[in-house]
Structure 1
Amino acid sequence: MREPDRLFESERGRLHAVAYRILGSAAEAEDAVQETWLRVARTDMAAIETPAAWLTTVVSRICLDMLRTRAARREDFLDGDIDPRRADSSADPEHEAVLADSVGRALLIVLETLGPAERVAFVLHDMFAVPFDLIAPVVGRGTAATKKLASRARGRVGVESSRTTVEFGEQRRVVEAFLAAAREGDLAGLVAVLAPDVVRSADPAALPAASAAVLRGARAVAEETALLRDRARTAAVALVEGAVGIIVAEGTRMRLALRITVTAGRISSYEVIADPARLRALEIAILPE
């Protein structure tokens, strides 16, 4: 094996990890890694002073271009109803699900809310400890501006709040129990975590045919939720407007958000948001550990 081949193969796993976190798609990440290899093949690697850093820069630039192209393509679709990545029939849904779970589905979904440059700056610095002076040329900004990009992204991805994990604890326990029961279609488990007079409201786009916009009572809400168990498999717990809620994705693109109110250890109400404009306006963040 040639030295450039050996070097690239030794870095392939890390390059794929970088690309996956930037792009949120295993298929696209593999495309970015392959394009990086093509550039290696056209480059005199002996002249590269720090090959690992150079490879990271190359794959990150490729990913940034792909994010920008993706954003431009989405403008051709009404309200983002079709995600261009979904057209790739070669993607393995089970493989994507395993990868998403290993990274953190909620994190990948929240990363989708960032602009391309913000996402690259945040992933490279906060997840892979790449210095800002090396990230700056990738995103085409000065070092100070790149720091601001990452800081802005951090504020959107993380929870900037004086509330503590303990204060979120009860909400989280209830919401996670609700989601677990929903995934299993466990009617009794759902009823147990819902207040007797719970109210579920929803955007029309979130509802099955003939479902009411407002549903009342634990039994009725539990029965509807149990029927939608497939949706729950791609859901994750996250902060929605500052409270523990649920986000639901196709791939890593948010399709629904549940804004949940917990009272006295049970869910007293929740709203299912599916309207694209309302989803874009929501404040979504990762729960603190």
Structure 2
Amino acid sequence: MTDDELLAQRFEEHRSHLRAVGYRMLGSLSEADDAVQEAWLRLSRSDADAVENLGGWLTTVVGRVCLDMLRSRTSRREDPLDVYVPDPVISSLSGTDPEAEALVTDSVGLAMLVVLDTLAPAERLAFVLHDMFAVPFDEIAPIVGKSVAATRQLASRGRRRVGEAPVPDPDLARQREVVDAWIAASRGGDFDALLSLLDPDVVLRVDGGVLAAATTKLVHGAENVAGQAITYQRFAPLARLALVNGTVGMVAAPEGKALSVMSLAIVGGKVVRIDILTDPERLARLDLAALGD
């Protein structure tokens, strides 16, 4: 085995971890892959033999790349995106997809990713690397160009914001009962049944993307969300249960072509958050292989 082949093998041992870092940083699977690829290019151009802790080195490199990508993304936005649903990670209800599990451990649901997307880039980096991947603050500080104390404050602010994200009930069987009831009510257009499943302060996000911006919406309150029954009714006959970022959700994908992905955050038996991705461009890039035929 050549030195290049050995280096590539060592890199592959860290790929799933690095992709998980990129996904938490960016909320985009394709951008996470781009960040990982850039880390490989930097490694291949470096003196790898001088790197004592390859995993730690690569983690910080991916962090730097993601920080630059977030800053570039922010500078390109003329207006803040009020409605954005991150790329979902889809797996079967059996939960036997190791790659998906690696991406969404630590309960990285879509609701949490939405909150992460509201953080300033440096806050997101400090929180993600320290709280999710145990990178010491003295290694994060040079990346953000701050003192260790200031970096701690960045992570603290991020931690407070992330604490606002709902923590779904852990019982998948109970989640499935609520989702099954939701599908039944949606198919029948039963407003009262939908209302009974919703928390009074439920929030609905629908991200239609640039190509279907007219379908993008942000809705607050149980009655208003239940009033969107026609939206759910359209996809309900096609709904297929799946794990969406580790919780029970729905995918509408007739003949293997994804039309929508719905994630429901269920707390205390009530739906507190609904995130729906209908962006055709991003849906086309989703890997649905774990769902089978």
1:157/1:176 Cα in 2 relative to 1: closer, same or farther (>3 Å)? farther
Q: Following the alignment from structure 1 to structure 2, what is the Cα–Cα distance between the partners of residues 132 and 244?
A: 36
Summarize the alignment of residues 103-142 of structure 1 with structure 2, pairs less than 5 Å apart: 103-142=108-147
* C-alpha RMSD over aligned residues: 4.8
**Conserved 8 A contact 1:122-1:154:** yes
1:62/1:190 Cα in 2 relative to 1: closer, same or farther (>3 Å)? same
**Conserved 8 A contact 2:60-2:140:** yes
| Counterpart position of 1:277 | none
1:187 partnered with 2:188: yes
Summarize the alignment of residues 48-127 of structure 1 with structure 2, pairs less than 5 Å apart: 48-75=51-78, 78-80=79-81, 96-98=89-91, 99=100, 103-127=108-132
1:216/1:138 Cα in 2 relative to 1: closer, same or farther (>3 Å)? closer
Deviations 1:190-211 (A, max 9, x none): 633536xxx99x99x9998xxx
**Conserved 8 A contact 2:22-2:62:** yes
Q: Which residue type is aligned with residue 234 of structure 1?
A: M
Q: Following the alignment from structure 2 to structure 1, what is the Cα–Cα distance between the partners of residues 223 and 59?
A: 53
**Conserved 8 A contact 1:187-1:223:** no
Residue 250 of structure 1 deviates from its aligned partner by 3.6
Question: Paired residue for 1:153, among 151, 155, 158?
Answer: 158
Q: Which residue type is aligned with residue 235 of structure 1?
A: S
**Conserved 8 A contact 1:181-1:189:** no
| Counterpart position of 1:44 | 47
1:150/1:19 Cα in 2 relative to 1: closer, same or farther (>3 Å)? same
Q: Following the alignment from structure 2 to structure 1, what is the Cα–Cα distance between the partners of residues 229 and 187?
A: 9
Question: Paired residue for 1:12, among 5, 10, 15?
Answer: 15
Secondary structure at 1:114's aligned position in 2? coil
Q: Which residue type is aligned with residue 36 of structure 1?
A: A
Secondary structure at 2:46's aligned position in 1? coil
**Conserved 8 A contact 2:22-2:36:** yes
Q: Following the alignment from structure 1 to structure 2, what is the Cα–Cα distance between the partners of residues 215 and 146?
A: 39
Greater Rg, structure 1 or structure 2? Answer: 1
How many residues matched? 223
1:229/1:9 Cα in 2 relative to 1: closer, same or farther (>3 Å)? same
Secondary structure at 1:147's aligned position in 2? helix
Secondary structure at 1:43's aligned position in 2? coil
Q: Following the alignment from structure 1 to structure 2, what is the Cα–Cα distance between the partners of residues 64 and 236?
A: 29
TM-score under structure 2 length normalisation: 0.59
Q: Which residue type is aligned with residue 73 of structure 2?
A: R
Q: Following the alignment from structure 1 to structure 2, what is the Cα–Cα distance between the partners of residues 18 and 152?
A: 19
Secondary structure at 1:235's aligned position in 2? strand
Residue 237 of structure 1 deviates from its aligned partner by 2.1
TM-score under structure 1 length normalisation: 0.60
Q: Which residue type is aligned with residue 153 of structure 1?
A: G
Q: Following the alignment from structure 1 to structure 2, what is the Cα–Cα distance between the partners of residues 6 and 48?
A: 15
1:251/1:105 Cα in 2 relative to 1: closer, same or farther (>3 Å)? farther
Q: Which residue type is aligned with residue 248 of structure 1?
A: D
1:153/1:118 Cα in 2 relative to 1: closer, same or farther (>3 Å)? same
Residue 20 of structure 1 deviates from its aligned partner by 1.1
Secondary structure at 2:265's aligned position in 1? strand
Unaligned runs of 5+ in 1: 87-92, 209-213, 253-289
Unaligned runs of 5+ in 2: 92-99, 208-213, 216-220, 240-249, 251-260, 280-293
1:97/1:159 Cα in 2 relative to 1: closer, same or farther (>3 Å)? same
Residue 116 of structure 1 deviates from its aligned partner by 0.8
Residue 177 of structure 1 deviates from its aligned partner by 6.8
Q: Following the alignment from structure 2 to structure 1, what is the Cα–Cα distance between the partners of residues 183 and 104?
A: 15
